[in-house]
Structure 1
Amino acid sequence: MQLEGSCHCRAVSFRLTSRHPYPFNLCYCSICRKTQGGGGFAINLSGDADSLQVDGQDHVSVYRAKIDPADSEPSPAERRFCGICGSGLWVWDPRWPELVHPFASAIDTELPVAPEHTHLMLGSKARWVPVDPGADDKLFDGYPEESIADWHRRLGLES
């Protein structure tokens, strides 16, 4: 599926190909909560890094979060955001260079509705954030072993 996205001020727009476009994984970690600011969680999709095309690249900034604030070195994962309006755009990690993970919140293309959700990193969820899992939803204190691609394959949703 071809995905198109942008930041709020439209200084940055991008497009990429995704075989895994269902917004199903809700991440409640402090990094997603604090950098995305939406509902206490963020939703990442998965796309082909080689297909990523960006307009307004000069407005894209990079943030490398510390997984543990006590760490001296940040994670190698690069969270890209608009340097003008601050909108989160995508995450790219050199450990998996073939993938790019756009935030569903930045996608302008109509996304398919997920038949179930994975709630992850609940162990670091803020107490004020409610979790309302559906009957088939999966809940994890940390990261699940099932990848974005595996979830799409299991449900027969890979495009």
Structure 2
Amino acid sequence: MPISGHCLCKAVTYSVNIEQPLATAYDHCDDCQRQSGSTYSLVAIVPKDLLELNGPTKTYTSNGSSGQPVHRVFCGECGSPIAHDPEAAPPIIALKAGTFDTEIKKTLKPDTEIWTASKLPFCSEHLAKPFEHMPQ
């Protein structure tokens, strides 16, 4: 079954023809904290060429830690963050896993933490694969 999801207002929908994400991670970077308004962003890494995205999206672009642009895709209607698309890693895109369809979200098994250098001190989760910055 493909991965599918949508924004809060359902104007933006997507599907990815893959059974499971390549990785599911807590992204502790400061940008994800700000974009999500929370302590981290739960992201699911998928092949970009398998993503079918529909609806009125907007993009905010800023440089990531690599010095290359990161395109943050969000719904143009309700503002829900949908994905971040780093130019430093062209074959993948990081979907905001909170936008997955409910039954799919329930099956996720996060095992990776990225940007633990920015992890807030009160976050007590410790996943199996921590990375101080981005994995290479």
User: What TM bracket, shorter-length normalisation?
Assistant: 0.7 to 0.9
Q: CA deviation at 1:139?
A: 3.0
Q: Taking structure 1 as reference, are residues 100 and 122 closer, same or farther at Cα in structure 2, changes over 3 Å only?
A: closer
Of 109, 118, 121, the match for 2:112: 118
Max Rg structure: 1
Of 97, 100, 109, the match for 2:93: 100
Of 54, 61, 79, the match for 1:64: 61
Q: Taking structure 1 as reference, are residues 92 and 144 closer, same or farther at Cα in structure 2, changes over 3 Å only?
A: closer
Q: C-alpha separation between the residues in 2 aligned to 1:54 and 1:4? A: 10
For residues 83-121 of structure 1, give each alpha carbon's deviation from its aligned partner in whole angstroms, at most 9, with x where no partner exists: 22111101223444332221111111514342x622221
* Mapped contact 1:19–1:47 kept (Cα < 8 A): no
Alignment of 1:142-157 (within 5 A): 142-145=133-136
1:157 is matched with: none
1:42 aligns with 2:41: yes
- Aligned residue pairs total 133
Q: C-alpha separation between the residues in 2 aligned to 1:76 and 1:9? A: 28
Please state whether the residue corresponding to 2:62 is helix, strand or coil.
Answer: coil
Q: Which runs of 5+ in 2 are unaligned?
A: none
Q: C-alpha separation between the residues in 2 aligned to 1:61 and 1:99? A: 19
Q: C-alpha separation between the residues in 2 aligned to 1:143 and 1:98? A: 15
> Of Structure 1 and Structure 2, which has the larger fraction of its residues in strand?
2
Two-structure CA RMSD over aligned residues (Å): 2.5
Q: CA deviation at 1:10?
A: 1.0
TM-score under structure 1 normalisation? 0.69
Please state whether the residue corresponding to 2:44 is helix, strand or coil.
Answer: coil
Please state whether the residue corresponding to 2:104 is helix, strand or coil.
Answer: coil
Identical-pair percentage: 23
2:8 is matched with: 8
For residues 32-73 of structure 1, give each alpha carbon's deviation from its aligned partner in whole angstroms, at most 9, with x where no partner exists: 1110123x11122122322322221xx2010113447xxxxx
Amino acid at match of 1:49: K
Q: C-alpha separation between the residues in 2 aligned to 1:3 and 1:92? A: 17
1:33 aligns with 2:33: yes
TM-score under structure 2 normalisation? 0.79
Amino acid at match of 1:78: H
